[in-house]
Amino acid sequence: MRQTDECFVRHTLDLARLGTDTAPPNPLVGALIVDSAGTVLGSGWHRGPGTPHAEVHAVAAARQGGCTDFAGTTLYVNLEPCCHTGRTPPCTDLILAAGIPRIVCGMTDPDSRVSGKGVDILRNAGRTVVVGVLERECRELNAPFVTFHEKGRPYFTLKTASSLDGKTATVTGESRWITGEASRESVHRLRSRQAAILTGIGTVLADDPLLTVRLNEAGGSPVRIVADTRLRLPAESRLVQTAREIPVLAACSRTILETDEGKKNRQALEQAGVTVLPLPEKDGRVDLVELARVLAQRGIDRVLIEAGESLAWSFLESGLVDRIRMYLAPQFVGGRGAPGLFRGGVQTLDRRITLEGVTLFRCGEDFVLEGKPCLPD
């Protein structure tokens, strides 16, 4: 039975992935209705906020296929069915009304509104509920959702792009383009799956980026965030000039706002539509852990970091980076003093940051390396 359950839960994960571009900030969820002979009667996946949940689609598909009696069936779903009323009714009500006797879910829902309550409702109504089938895979699929609800902060992805020798530009500062067109398109798709894109003031002053999503498909761009301890964000920058169209948050030190220059800059930025976030300092820059907490309070659950070598390293050593994606062009740039991926570093190898779960794949002519950064104990 366990092997059969794993097979069908794995199928729900495949269904759930169909919502990768549309479901967030909701979790990716797939569902199956299977009869006692192992025949799939109906399937479904969640399309996005305000739309029917995967369980609703699966039950509807089973009924459309001629199922009128759900006795002997099993509902497979990668995430615990919801039991609260939001934009849609509770899925537990649907399951009980349909008469589905057995439910297998990959993991409990970390959202405090559910968090085991859905399982309890079903069990108290006499249903058989199995929890934790392929739990690791289920948690990995919805890692941003899990991180947001369990850690109370956004899921941070650090993106880098460099030559094989780790250079992001030449000694003269030329950087367009080290990576190829396929990689740049991949970055825009990665951006489109975020709630926010974060960079540092150094990058803004050097490159004047827009940090928008440029894809042919419909859809807006994420919130833009600038880590700007001294609040130097120029009013003439493209970020500020477009702040009323796509939100911009400037995270600065509280102390800078006590100065005349800080007060003046804040007023100018806020008049342009920028939201200024006063934060405590740590080690001479905005406290990144506090920034993460404030972003979560604003409902920002997924952040892509596109920063220079100093801020990128600060995020890495803070332990906030959940995943790193490195675009590597098959070329060597060299040059003593040419910009690299990280500034700072460890003094001894026993303090090095390692990567777990590393994957490597091609993207056009480039390579993409992904993994989970792990700090030493």
How many CA atoms within 13 Å lie on the side-chain side of 143?
A: 13
Residue 350 burial (10 A CB sphere; 0-12, 13-18, 19+) = exposed
Question: What tokens does 71 get?
Answer: 């006795």
Report the distance separating Cα 330 and Cα 366, nearest Å.
Answer: 6
**Residue 309 annotated in active site:** no
Query: Which residue reads 């833009």 in tokens?
Result: 224
Report the distance separating Cα 346 and Cα 370, nearest Å.
Answer: 21
CB 322 within 8 A of CB 157: yes
**Strand 281-282 to strand 285-286: parallel, antiparallel, or no bridges (unpaired)?**
antiparallel
Question: What tokens does 343 get?
Answer: 């500034």
Report the distance separating Cα 320 and Cα 307, nearest Å.
Answer: 14
What is the side-by-side strand order in the sheet with 30-34?
A: 40-45, 30-34, 74-77, 102-105, 128-131
In terms of residues, how long is the chain?
Answer: 377
Report the distance separating Cα 198 and Cα 204, nearest Å.
Answer: 11
Query: Which of 55, 306, 309, 317 is an active site residue?
Result: 55
Residues with catalytic roles: 55
